[in-house]
Amino acid sequence: MYKLTNMNEVELLKDYVDSDLYTRLLANRHVCFALEEGAYLISFHFCDIKNPSIREERICIYCSDTDFLFLTNNALCEKLMREVDSNKDHYAQLVGFFHSLTANDVYALEKTEDRIISLEDSLLVEKSTKSYRTAQIIGLRRELLQMKRYYEQLTMITSELSENENKAFSKELQKRMATLDRRVDYLLNSVLHLREYITQVREAYQAQIDIEQNQIMKVFTVITAVFLPLTLIVGWFGMNLQMPEYSWSFGYVYVILLSVVVCLATVIFFKLKKWF
């Protein structure tokens, strides 16, 4: 029997597996059980890596020599399964589905890499940091985390299938399964590489923010240092004592000139030291 339907009919699997396996199927994020008589029970959450922000959807597959059940609510996965040659045996259809599922993923990952490169170039040419850039970096990190979890599921499933524990696959199908397993490993490694790349971009951007903040603090420090001598002058001449300058007709002008000279001298000193 061949049946392609939605997850509303998941209880159909109870006719093929015991209650313990059925419970584990729904409780775990992904499963791949090699059953007796060459049957496989597979379940995983599909992530459309072209749109990783879309909610994942569960896919359940039961494949044996006589029966093939494919349950999903995802339109893309249903379309891929319908495009698999129905004249082939069930195991060939299973392998064909996974090949179709991952066939163009490398191109989607390349587009994600191009987005990260474009973001990095934008960060390098911008004269000042912008708050929305942080949101972009966080968004990319979340997408890559979603992809990583997705491919971790697939690599565990394809590794289990390529071992051909219950001898269900022919030698030709086993070779195709081994090729698929290597492809999924490559895709997972590519995602891990992209995660490292976006982490480096985030660290570089954070360093840029720190430098910008340090420059701001440097300006405030210089301003404080310039006016600090004036604070001393104010404190000196603000003492409740009788000073000679009080009776001098040019005392007020003297204090003004002294303040200006001190400020200019401080600014010139900082300029010579290249502190700003």
Contact 150, 197 (CB under 8 A): no
Same domain membership, residue 176 and residue 105: yes
CA-wise closest residue to 144 among 201, 95, 183: 201
Say which CATH number the domain at 166 has.
Answer: 1.20.58.340
Of the candidates 99, 39, 101, which has an alpha carbon nearest to the alpha carbon of residue 69?
39
- Residue 4, pLDDT > 90, answer no
In this prediction, residue 241 carries a pLDDT of 67
CA distances for 217 relative to 220, 223, 250, 267, angstroms: 5, 10, 38, 17
Q: Decide if pLDDT at 203 tops 70.
A: yes
Q: Residues 101, 175: one domain?
A: yes
**pLDDT-derived band at 53, boundaries 50, 70, 90:** confident
The per-residue pLDDT for range 116-174, each reduced to its tens digit, is 998 888 887 777 667 677 888 888 899 999 999 999 999 999 988 888 877 888 888 88
**Residue 195: per-residue pLDDT:** 92
Where among 212, 239, 259 does a domain terminate?
212
Same domain (yes/no): 135, 255: no
The domain in which residue 235 lies consists of 217-273
Mean pLDDT of the chain: 84
Would you state the pLDDT for residue 184? Answer: 93
104 and 136 fall within a common domain: yes
In this structure, the answer to whether residues 163 and 199 fall within a common structural domain is yes
pLDDT confidence of residue 186: 94
Query: What is the rounded average pLDDT of the residues 28-37?
Result: 83
In this structure, the answer to whether residues 142 and 9 fall within a common structural domain is: yes
Domain boundary among 188, 212, 236: 212
> Among residues 196, 212, 228, which one ends one of the domains?
212
Question: In this structure, are 206 and 235 located in the same domain?
Answer: no
Between the alpha carbon of residue 176 and those of residues 102, 119, 171, 251, the distances in Å are 13, 38, 9, 97
Does residue 198 share a domain with residue 149?
yes
Please tell me whether residue 49 adopts helix, strand or coil conformation: coil
221 and 205 housed in the same domain = no
Supply the pLDDT for residue 253.
82
pLDDT of 246 over the 80 cut: no
Whether 140 and 18 map to the same domain: the answer is: yes
- Is residue 264 over pLDDT 70? yes
Average confidence (pLDDT) over 198-222: 80
Residue 151 burial (CB < 10 Å; 0-12/13-18/19+)? Answer: buried
In this structure, the answer to whether residues 76 and 140 fall within a common structural domain is yes
Q: What percent of the chain has pLDDT over 70?
A: 96
Q: How large is the average pLDDT for residues 3-11? A: 85
Whether the per-residue pLDDT at 50 is higher than 70: the answer is yes
Total domains, the chain: 2
Under a CB-based contact definition with an 8 Å cutoff, are residues 64 and 94 in contact?
Answer: no
| Predicted pLDDT of residue 20 | 84
Residues 187 and 202 in one domain: yes
Note the pLDDT of residue 63: 87
